[in-house]
Amino acid sequence: MAVFGNLSNRLQDTFEGLRSKGRLTEADIDTAMREVRMALLEADVNFKVVKDFVAKTKERCLTSEVLESLTPAQNVVKIVLEELTDLLGTTESKLVLTSRIPNVIMLVGLQGSGKTTAAAKLANLLKAQGHAPLLAACDVYRPAAADQLETLGNELGVKVFRGDGQHPVQIARDAVRAAVDGMKDIVIVDTAGRLQVDEAMMQEAADIKAAVKPDQILMVVDSMTGQDIVNVVTAFAERVDFDGVIMTKLDGDARGGGALSVRSVTGKPIKFISTGEKPDAFEVFHPDRMARRILGMGDMVSVIEKVSAQADEEQAEAAARMLQRGMTFDDFLAQLKSIEKLGGFASIISSLPGGDRLLDKAGGQIDERMTKRTEAIIMSMTKEERAKPQIINGSRRARIARGAGVEVYDVNALIKQFNQINKMMGKMRAQVGDAKGKGGRMSKRARRMMGGLGGLGDVASQAEMQRMMRDMFK
């Protein structure tokens, strides 16, 4: 997922410009900061937020430590990263549950912002953490609203409480009671929104709040709204108040203004982001990771977490064994399959430093090109060739190419790539060997990290990985 593509590209261009300079003068910093300001304004970030951000960043950059350092451009990027993280929120933004049973989480926001979807996704996330959530359908104005929630709930195996014909306040109350009876520990209240902030909506939200005293009120905000969000969010903050924000539709072509302004203007943290319509396209928000993505520095931590979550114990063991004995083409094929499960190469490359830009250049066709052709080539190898790639000589390569309907060149490229990955794994093996000490076993987490992705789990090799990726798509 390219986060705020345009903003991200412009900032990266600015810093590439700085890097190409070596030594930096005050004038260079001035120019760079002017570019940063323009980029942020065009991303629709609130002008006051931009002004403060640039002033702070510039001041930190214009010190002799930065200007006279051996790597001034890197220091500037580091400062921007820190300030951007700060802007997005430095405090822990995890959802805090209280000891009350059931906890009540209420979602508010404009119509179409993604409340109902987010309610279901949040329930899904909490369920995966071992909670027993109940969804309460309190949008009684749109005829299909409760059905929508119920459909989503059914898909995810989460019960939906609906009180058709009742007043929303009553539904919320009854839902809390039903949760107690049904042994549910969290009630997620989905409310109605309007197209614009209006009195009736605010009153109803306030009434539901008064009736069920939510432990958390989360405001759902569509990131496509730009800095208009600030007005909406401020209105809600004054009237109903809330504890945090769920930013939705970050998969769209949002410019970033809303997400970058909201924290600074309201002081409310972004707690979750929604990045698509599927139930699992929902993540806990990490300001530092988001800032890294905007600056094109990649987000390997998220990939590794995703891998860890996906890789089962067996897979992890298999990966650990593979690491010990070296990879075969059968392993490679299995890795390809597991990458597909993770959302394809595109999503992984997107998480590497510079990955989003690489993807843009490849025209987003990476998945098709990579997996289909690679699979065809591997399938054309004999069993022996897959197990012992070193026997694949020139005539075998020609035969494999014919079998797969590709050029010998493609087979060569794949084998080269395969060998590179194997080499990287060799390095990893050495590192893991160090880490586990004499005769010890790899930690469960280390093994998990290796499951599913083979060499990709090695954060230290990011730069090398990036180079490899670049080679692949040349």
Q: Is 26 in the site for ligand GDP (CB under 6 A)?
A: no
CB of 217 to ligand GDP, least distance (A): 15
CB of 107 to ligand GDP, least distance (A): 8
CA distance 376 to 373: 5
CA distance 318 to 328: 12
10 Å Cβ neighbour count for 216?
19
Nearer to Mg ion, 140 or 186 (CB): 140
Q: CB–CB of 193/112 below 8 Å?
A: yes
Residue 103: contacted member of ligand GDP, Mg ion, none (CB under 5 to 8 Å, by partner type):
none
Nearer to ligand GDP, 97 or 281 (CB): 281
Q: DSSP letter at 326?
A: -
Strands, sheet with 186-190, edge to edge from the N-terminal-most edge strand: 159-162, 133-137, 186-190, 103-108, 216-222, 244-248, 270-274, 282-284
Task: Restricting to residues 107-126, name those near ligand GDP by CB under 6 A.
Answer: 109, 111-117
CA distance 289 to 297: 9
Q: Give me the residue whose beta carbon is nearest to Mg ion.
A: 116
CA distance 155 to 168: 24
CA distance 54 to 473: 36
CB of 170 to Mg ion, least distance (A): 18
Q: Cα dihedral sign for 341, 343, 344, 345?
A: negative
Nearer to ligand GDP, 43 or 149 (CB): 149
CB of 117 to ligand GDP, least distance (A): 3
Q: Is 287 in the site for ligand GDP (CB under 6 A)?
A: no
Nearer to Mg ion, 138 or 472 (CB): 138
Nearer to Mg ion, 12 or 116 (CB): 116
CA distance 336 to 340: 6
Q: CB–CB of 182/157 below 8 Å?
A: no
Nearer to ligand GDP, 135 or 411 (CB): 135
Task: Give the rounded distance of the alpha carbon of 160 from its chain centre.
Answer: 28
Q: DSSP letter at 165?
A: T
Binding mask 384-423 for ligand GDP (x = CB under 6 A): ----------------------------------------
Q: Is 271 in the site for ligand GDP (CB under 6 A)?
A: no
CB of 197 to Mg ion, least distance (A): 16
Q: CB–CB of 17/230 below 8 Å?
A: no
CB of 95 to Mg ion, least distance (A): 20
CB of 273 to ligand GDP, least distance (A): 8
Task: Restricting to residues 185-204, name those near ligand GDP by CB under 6 A.
Answer: 193
Q: Is 248 in the site for ligand GDP (CB under 6 A)?
A: yes
Q: CB–CB of 156/123 below 8 Å?
A: yes
The residue within the footprint of ligand GDP, chosen from 5, 17, 276, 354 (CB under 6 A), is 276
The residue within the footprint of ligand GDP, chosen from 277, 360, 368, 384 (CB under 6 A), is 277
Q: Is 249 in the site for ligand GDP (CB under 6 A)?
A: yes
Evaluate the omega torsion of the peptide bond into residue 168 and state whether it is cis, within 30 degrees of 0.
no
Where does residue 256 fall: left (phi above 0), alpha (psi -120 to 50 degrees), or beta otherwise? left
CB of 148 to Mg ion, least distance (A): 6
At a CB cut-off of 8 Å and minimum separation 6, what does 443 contact?
436
Q: CB–CB of 326/444 below 8 Å?
A: no
Residue 276: contacted member of ligand GDP, Mg ion, none (CB under 5 to 8 Å, by partner type):
ligand GDP
CA distance 427 to 241: 52
CB of 368 to ligand GDP, least distance (A): 22
Residue 248: contacted member of Mg ion, ligand GDP, none (CB under 5 to 8 Å, by partner type):
ligand GDP
State which H helix or E strand residue 133 sits in.
strand 133-137
Residue ranges in contact with Mg ion by CB under 5 A:
115-116, 139
The residue within the footprint of ligand GDP, chosen from 182, 252, 326, 364 (CB under 6 A), is 252
Nearer to ligand GDP, 118 or 465 (CB): 118
Interacting residues toward ligand GDP by CB under 6 A = 109, 111-117, 193, 220, 248-249, 251-252, 274-277
